[in-house]
């Protein structure tokens, strides 16, 4: 399987959000330039020769870097990562940290898509989750992106937040409509370990959001999309036609990609890997010319088939049956013979002859459906 994409991790933030469990560090007094030098060395070691179809620079917060550091980051990609014509090149940006100079540098380097970390257009809720910006910053971020010439961009929105009401979420959706946003990635809050929210949950200071209300918010999101020209192409993502994220589809289609940076994950030559996460360890390893892989796992055929199903079913288009058979030499119904009949009978998946996909009810119970595609040890042998 050819590697067509690369993820590049910038682990620095101006402020740590209460819900975030990504590999990140407060940027103050951090060796940012040393990190970029190490990142350059890692990408150079990969010796990418074939043009890629997508690059995604995420974090952390890439725009936590100053203008000179942003330009240095982009220059590394320009020199070491060949891109195919028409490739998608995305950078995550944060409201309150975007400047026209940073955006101009991105535009000049071929960045053609932005992912804007709005999360909410309600200042009260942004404070609740520990974000460093307010409503006006979020609106201005979208307008700055457009003034800089970006028409392909996505905003992140969250629902199921502490104290959030249906009216709050509707207000954020209404604002997105008024700004003509072409893509929304909408996620419900998950209380992850090693976060402030998890600490508060253990202390009894944070109550999980009611599941029924969370489901109502998700239904509101889908209704919003249907009325405003944004269709759901994946469980958490809605886009206007032509604005779907190619890079994210690489993950959902179970295709291979490079992962560069501290704590980044990759999937190359049938091997999944995770880079060293601690910042100084990552930098030291690259300075010494060592591999930065701390863990790697050869993905078995059974595991690939599991992932093909529970990743592919996230997409509204579903899993292509002929592609599955071409990849693995078996029909999906043969591999998952103990699971598929019950899921079909209970109306959680549907099979139209070419694709197998989640039903609307199945999407609401997605995690339960995905678990059904984990093979027993005997089946996986």
pLDDT given at position 289: 86
120-138: pLDDT as tens digits? 999 999 999 999 999 999 9
Q: How far apart are CA 20 and CA 66, in angstroms?
A: 22
SS3 labels along the chain: CCCCEEEEEECEECCCCCCCCCCCEECCCCCHHHHHHHHHHHHHHHCCCCCEEEEEEEECCHHHCCHHHHHHHHHHHHHHCCEEEEEEEEEEECCCCCCHHHHHHHHHCCCCEEEEEEECCCHHHHHHCCCCCCHHHHHHHHHHHHHCCCCCEEEEEEECCCCCCHHHHHHHHHHHHHCCCCEEEEEECCCCCCCHHHHHHHCCCCCCCCHHHHHHHHHHHHHHHHHCCCEEEECCEEECCCCCCHHHHHHHCCCCEEEECCCCEEEECCEEEEECCCHHHHHHHHHCCCCCEEEEEECCHHHHHHHHHHHHCCECCCEEHHHHHHHHCCCHHHHCCCCHHHHHHCCCEEECCCEEEECHHHHHCHHHHHHCCCCCHHHHC
Give CA torsion, residues 340, 379, 254, 183, to 10 deg. Answer: 30
Structure tokens at 260: 């560069």
Rg (CA), the chain: 21
pLDDT band at 377 (very low <50, low <70, confident <90, very high): low
pLDDT band at 296 (very low <50, low <70, confident <90, very high): confident
pLDDT band at 342 (very low <50, low <70, confident <90, very high): very high
pLDDT given at position 290: 81
Cβ-contact 302, 374 below 8 angstroms: no
- Strand order, beta sheet including 349-351: 319-320, 355-358, 349-351
**For residues 142-161, average pLDDT:** 97
Cβ-contact 138, 178 below 8 angstroms: no
- Whole-number percent of the chain with pLDDT over 90: 93
96-111: pLDDT as tens digits? 999 999 999 999 999 9
The reported pTM is 0.94
For residue 18, list its beta bridge partners. none
For the chain, domains (ranges, CATH) are: 5-251 (3.20.20.70), 301-380 (1.10.10.920)
Question: What is the average pLDDT value for the chain, to the nearest integer?
Answer: 95
Cβ-contact 259, 294 below 8 angstroms: no
244-279: pLDDT as tens digits? 999 999 999 999 999 999 999 999 999 999 999 999
Tell me the C-alpha to C-alpha distance, in Å, between residue 285 and each of 36, 267, 306: 13, 20, 34
């Amino acid at each position: 399987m050819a590697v067509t994409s690369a993820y590049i991790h910038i682990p620095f933030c101006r402020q740590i959000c209460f819900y975030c469990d990504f590999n990140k560090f407060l940027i103050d007094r951090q060796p940012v330039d040393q990190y970029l030098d190490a990142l350059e060395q890692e990408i150079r070691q990969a010796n990418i020769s074939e043009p890629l179809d997508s690059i995604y620079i995420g974090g952390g917060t890439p725009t936590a870097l100053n203008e000179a550091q942003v330009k240095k980051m982009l220059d590394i990609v320009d020199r070491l990562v060949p891109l195919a014509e028409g490739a998608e090149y995305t950078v995550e940006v944060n409201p309150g940290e975007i400047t026209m100079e940073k955006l101009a540098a991105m535009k000049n380097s071929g960045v053609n898509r932005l992912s804007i970390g709005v999360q909410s257009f309600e200042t009260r809720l942004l404070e609740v989750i520990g974000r460093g910006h307010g409503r006006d910053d979020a609106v201005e971020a979208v307008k700055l992106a457009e003034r800089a010439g970006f028409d392909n961009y996505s905003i992140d929105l969250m629902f199921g937040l502490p104290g959030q009401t249906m009216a709050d979420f509707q207000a954020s959706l209404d604002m997105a409509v008024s700004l003509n946003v072409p893509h929304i990635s909408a996620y419900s809050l998950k209380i992850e370990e090693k976060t402030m929210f998890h600490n508060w949950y253990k202390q009894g200071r944070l109550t999980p959001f009611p599941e029924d209300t969370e489901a109502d918010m998700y239904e509101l999101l889908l209704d919003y999309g249907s009325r405003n020209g944004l269709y759901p192409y994946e469980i958490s993502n809605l886009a206007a036609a032509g604005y779907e994220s190619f890079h994210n589809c690489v993950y959902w289609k179970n295709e291979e990609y490079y992962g560069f940076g501290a704590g980044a994950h990759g999937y190359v030559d049938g091997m999944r890997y995770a880079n060293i996460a601690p910042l100084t360890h990552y930098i030291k390893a690259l300075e010494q010319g060592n591999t930065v892989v701390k863990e790697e796992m050869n993905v078995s055929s059974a595991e690939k088939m599991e992932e093909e199903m529970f990743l592919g079913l996230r997409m509204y288009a579903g899993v292509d049956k002929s592609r599955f058979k071409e990849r693995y030499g078996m029909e999906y119904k043969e591999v998952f013979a103990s699971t598929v009949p019950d899921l079909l009978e209970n109306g959680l998946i549907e099979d139209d002859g070419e694709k197998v996909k989640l039903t609307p009810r199945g999407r609401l119970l997605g995690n339960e459906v995905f678990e059904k595609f984990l093979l027993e040890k005997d089946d996986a042998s």
